[in-house]
């Protein structure tokens, strides 16, 4: 007989990993919401965030929690650069060209990581958040709790940025109607670059948080990008709050399904939930009809 403590611990683990899924998905949904481009290379931004945290820890003994702001800035700069060098040239191209371009970036980034750092698994052995905490008698890893709290804070920051600042309002206006926003004096190219920068920074922050307890290797982004696409669809394209709710829901279904039914079925359960929501609410939980 399974104890209540195990169920609660598993549920909490699902919520925490779901918050990480949400943070990755928020960056993805921002890019799609503003530009209508599906970024298949988004998982590689997470991978670069993990490697940035690892190398600053390995070479300079700087804890990933201390270097997290720097990681976010580095990934923001990378996202803006990728937009200006590559993506800007395909903004008016066909969807097929856009898909092939971002898919090609994914392959390129993985190849660069394998060339520079080899396919070895690496890890941050000791961090200030290492260890366990007890929550109501339930033992849970401190890195997971820290990652969950960090994901909530970053998500709240993105939401406040979009709803309370002029730049956020300009992003929202560009996402709603690019032509009308341009007539109002909003530079759509700057907004597109900003969306890519913020999207990459979100993935970088997620990578920094994950680096304290998840193995680091060139294909690590593949573990999160498929679920991130599911979360974006479930929450509704362009919805930050929807991505947060959907991320937690997916995390709970995945972890609880693995415990109650079997780990080999957890992804099937997530995709089953995804298909069920699409059947009855194609626009997602909080997407606009």
Q: Residue 231 and residue 12: Cα distance in Å, rounded? A: 18
pLDDT recorded at residue 17: 92
Q: Residue 182 and residue 90: Cα distance in Å, rounded? A: 19
- Structure-token match 């939930």, residue found: 273
pLDDT recorded at residue 137: 72
CA-based nearest residue to 45, from 98, 88, 81, 95: 81
The answer to whether residue 170 is domain-embedded is yes
Average pLDDT over residues 158-176: 90
The answer to whether residue 104 is domain-embedded is yes
Q: Residue 95 and residue 78: Cα distance in Å, rounded? A: 23
Could you tell me if 148 and 20 are in contact, meaning their C-beta atoms sit under 8 angstroms apart? yes
Could you tell me if 29 and 238 are in contact, meaning their C-beta atoms sit under 8 angstroms apart? yes
pLDDT recorded at residue 208: 95
Is a pLDDT exceeding 70 seen at residue 2? no
The answer to whether residue 245 is domain-embedded is yes
Q: Residue 166 and residue 175: Cα distance in Å, rounded? A: 14
Average pLDDT over residues 217-223: 92
pLDDT in tens, 67-80: 999 999 999 999 99
The answer to whether residue 146 is domain-embedded is no
The answer to whether residue 288 is domain-embedded is no
pLDDT tier for residue 177 given thresholds of 50, 70 and 90: confident
Non-local (6+) Cβ contacts of 192 within 8 A are: 34, 35, 83, 87, 88, 91, 174
Is a pLDDT exceeding 70 seen at residue 244? yes
Domain interval for residue 259: 7-117+156-280
DSSP class of residue 125 equals: -
pLDDT recorded at residue 66: 95
The answer to whether residue 47 is domain-embedded is yes
Flag the least confident range among 71-75, 132-136, 202-206. 132-136
Is a pLDDT exceeding 60 seen at residue 1? no
Is a pLDDT exceeding 80 seen at residue 61? yes
Mean pLDDT of the chain: 90
DSSP class of residue 274 equals: H
The answer to whether residue 126 is domain-embedded is no
Q: Residue 148 and residue 143: Cα distance in Å, rounded? A: 9
Share of the chain above pLDDT 70, in %: 98
Instruction: Identify the bridge partners of residue 215 per DSSP, sorted by sequence position.
Output: none
Average pLDDT over residues 216-238: 89
Phi, psi of 136 (to 5 degrees): 60, 35
Is a pLDDT exceeding 90 seen at residue 102? yes
The answer to whether residue 172 is domain-embedded is yes
Counted domains in the chain: 1
**Beta strands in the chain, from DSSP E residues, in sequence order:** 132-135, 138-141
pLDDT in tens, 29-46: 888 888 888 899 999 999
Instruction: Identify the bridge partners of residue 135 per DSSP, sorted by sequence position.
Output: 138
- pTM recorded for the entire structure: 0.92
Non-local (6+) Cβ contacts of 254 within 8 A are: 14, 17, 18, 227, 266, 267, 269, 270
pLDDT recorded at residue 165: 93
Is a pLDDT exceeding 80 seen at residue 242? yes
Average pLDDT over residues 230-240: 85
DSSP class of residue 282 equals: T
Which residue did the predictor score with more confidence, 63 or 180?
63
Q: Are strands 132-135 and 138-141 parallel, antiparallel or unpaired?
A: antiparallel
Is a pLDDT exceeding 70 seen at residue 289? no
For 58-73, give the DSSP string.
Answer: HHH---HHHHHHHHHH
């Amino acid at each position: 007989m399974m104890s209540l403590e195990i169920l609660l611990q598993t549920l909490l683990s699902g919520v925490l990993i779901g918050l990480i899924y949400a943070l990755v998905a928020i960056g993805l949904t921002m890019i799609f919401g503003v530009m209508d481009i599906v970024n298949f290379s988004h998982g590689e931004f997470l991978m670069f965030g993990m490697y940035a945290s690892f190398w600053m820890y390995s070479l300079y003994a700087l804890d990933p929690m201390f270097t997290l702001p720097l990681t976010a800035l580095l990934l923001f700069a990378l996202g803006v650069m990728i937009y200006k060098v590559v993506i800007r040239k395909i903004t008016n191209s066909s969807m097929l060209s856009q898909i092939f371009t971002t898919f090609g970036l994914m392959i390129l980034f993985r190849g660069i990581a394998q060339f520079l750092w080899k396919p070895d698994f690496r890890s941050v052995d000791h961090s200030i958040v290492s260890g366990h905490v007890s929550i109501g008698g339930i033992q849970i890893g401190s890195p997971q709790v820290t990652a969950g709290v960090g994901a909530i804070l970053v998500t709240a920051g993105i939401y406040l940025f979009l709803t309370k600042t002029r730049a956020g309002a300009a992003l929202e206006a560009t996402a709603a109607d690019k032509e009308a926003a341009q007539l109002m004096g909003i530079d759509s190219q700057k907004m597109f670059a900003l969306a890519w920068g913020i999207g990459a920074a979100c993935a970088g922050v997620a990578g920094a948080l994950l680096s304290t307890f998840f193995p680091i290797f060139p294909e690590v982004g593949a573990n999160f990008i498929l679920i991130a696409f599911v979360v974006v669809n479930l929450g509704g394209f362009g919805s930050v709050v929807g991505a947060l709710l959907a991320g937690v829901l997916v995390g709970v279904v995945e972890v609880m399904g693995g415990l109650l039914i079997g780990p080999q079925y957890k992804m099937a359960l997530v995709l089953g939930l995804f298909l069920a929501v699409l059947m009855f609410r194609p626009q997602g939980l909080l997407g606009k009809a």
